[in-house]
Amino acid sequence: MISSSKFARYDAITKAFEILNDSSIHKVCQTAPSVRVGLGDEFVLPIGTNVKGKMITALRLLGFDRVFDTNTGADFTIMEEANEFVDRYENQENLPMFTSCCPAWVMFAKKNYPDMCKYLSTCKSPHQMFGAIIKSYYANKFNIPKEKIKVISIMPCIAKKAEIAQPEMNVNGIRDVDLVISTTELAEMMKRKNIDLEQLEDGDYDSPMGNATGAGAIFGVTGGVMEASLRTAADLLEGESLEKIQYKSVRGYKGIKQATVKIGKRRIRVAVVSGIQNARTIMEDIKNGKAKLDFVEVMSCPGGCIMGAGQPFMSKNAWDYETIQHLRAKALYSIDEKSTYRKAHENPALIDVYKNLLQAPGSEIAEKYLHRKYEM
Ligand code: SF4
């Protein structure tokens, strides 16, 4: 008998092939930071291999017209979230601010701590933001009717399948994202089409939004959202480009990390949490006054999205969880270190979109495309 989760899996794959086989549709996909360091497991490559280039070629072979990088979407999230945090911090309002890019965490907070939801960032998650940008800025630039565009997000995550259906995830009635395919589902699609990842040449993301920063890359690992946001928040708070890039105190795999980050004369109290049980602990500590914080990152999956439920775990007999986590995280930090730009606000692709559409982080138009409200 096929389990209900398997039905859901086949259903998503069937839907993806239906979209790919429809010649009237402009087919766009975007790939999350963690997919490139997980997909190789399904093709028996060494754990943590970055298969970005081969994955892009595979997606083109499957029939996508454009292949974009959700890391660019993460750069938009950093811009908006850092701006939102700086605003709240300077006004000492609605602190601590909680990140909102993990839909399972947002769902948990809404259900269990409704009185604390005003502390959640209003930012949509990176792939939702990027879907909205693809169906506005990209559609207009290339004169493609937005109704003709279907965006498929390739994600390490199962919770994002439900996220795209939430009522607020649209702009003027056009859904930001049309379908979510997990990393393992993408591998299954490739296998059905006899695409052998290892044999493929490297491809590159499409322009004009294929450029992402190292800040976007580290979104996939616990602590990465916090570190990326601090890079931009620090420059915003100090009004200049600071040399500091790495915030090592928010790195590592502990379920709850707390640190005080010095930015100029300010002492910003941050926490990084992964695993839903740890989220409960930090929420209780905040409620009881045991934890005094300004900014909190929460990811439901222990270790962050690199260990999401949509990622392959083929090698569980040979490798333990910590080793897989470490190798995937190492691959993402290596992408960051090799990136030309490591702060989201320095990304030329973003600067162009803000100049031509969004105006500024937190502007009315940015709110319309990139932010959400919380229906309770
Ligand atoms: S931490 Fe897990 S549930 Fe949350 S966005 Fe990442 S993969 Fe999805």
Indicate the pLDDT class of residue 193, thresholds 50, 70 and 90. Answer: very high
- According to DSSP, residue 29 is labeled E
Task: Tell me whether residue 31 is in a domain.
Answer: yes
Q: How far is the CA of 143 from the centre of ligand 1 (A)?
A: 34
Task: Tell me whether residue 184 is in a domain.
Answer: yes
Please pick, among 42, 80, 163, 297, the residue that the annotation labels catalytic. Answer: 163
The CB of 180 under 6 Å from ligand 1? The reply is: no
Q: How far is the CA of 243 from the centre of ligand 1 (A)?
A: 31
pLDDT, residue 250, reads 95
Torsion of CA 56, 60, 66, 69, to 10 degrees: -10
Does the model's pTM come out above 0.85? yes
Task: Tell me whether residue 77 is in a domain.
Answer: yes
pLDDT, residue 91, reads 97
Q: How many CB atoms lie within 10 A of CB 292?
A: 11
**CATH number, domain with residue 134:** 3.40.50.1780
* pLDDT tens digits, one per residue of 307-336: 999 999 865 555 578 899 999 999 999 999
* pLDDT tens digits, one per residue of 237-279: 999 999 889 899 999 999 999 999 999 999 999 999 999 999 9
- Domain of residue 71 covers 4-207+215-370
The CB of 39 under 6 Å from ligand 1? The reply is: no
Question: Do the Cβ atoms of 331 and 37 come closer than 8 Å?
Answer: yes
The CB of 276 under 6 Å from ligand 1? The reply is: no
Task: Tell me whether residue 376 is in a domain.
Answer: no
pLDDT, residue 1, reads 46
Annotated catalytic residue 375: no
Task: Tell me whether residue 375 is in a domain.
Answer: no
Average pLDDT estimate for 201-227: 94
Please pick, among 52, 160, 257, 343, the residue that the annotation labels catalytic. Answer: 160
d(CA 101, CA 104): 9
Task: Tell me whether residue 159 is in a domain.
Answer: yes
Task: Tell me whether residue 92 is in a domain.
Answer: yes
Annotated catalytic residue 121: yes
d(CA 206, CA 132): 17
Question: Do the Cβ atoms of 161 and 171 come closer than 8 Å?
Answer: no
Q: How far is the CA of 70 from the centre of ligand 1 (A)?
A: 14
Cα dist from 350 to 46, 151, 345, whole Å: 33, 19, 7
d(CA 155, CA 31): 6
Task: Tell me whether residue 308 is in a domain.
Answer: yes
CB neighbour list of residue 237: distance below 8 Å, 6 or more residues apart: 86, 89, 90, 263, 264, 266
User: Average per-residue pLDDT in the chain?
Assistant: 94
As given in the structure block, the two tokens for residue 172 are: 């003027």
Domain count, the chain: 1
Annotated catalytic residue 305: yes
In 3-state terms, what secondary structure has residue 194?
Answer: coil
Residue 139 has pLDDT above 70, yes or no: yes
Annotated catalytic residue 160: yes
Residue 73 has pLDDT above 90, yes or no: yes
Cα dist from 256 to 223, 272, 351, whole Å: 10, 6, 34
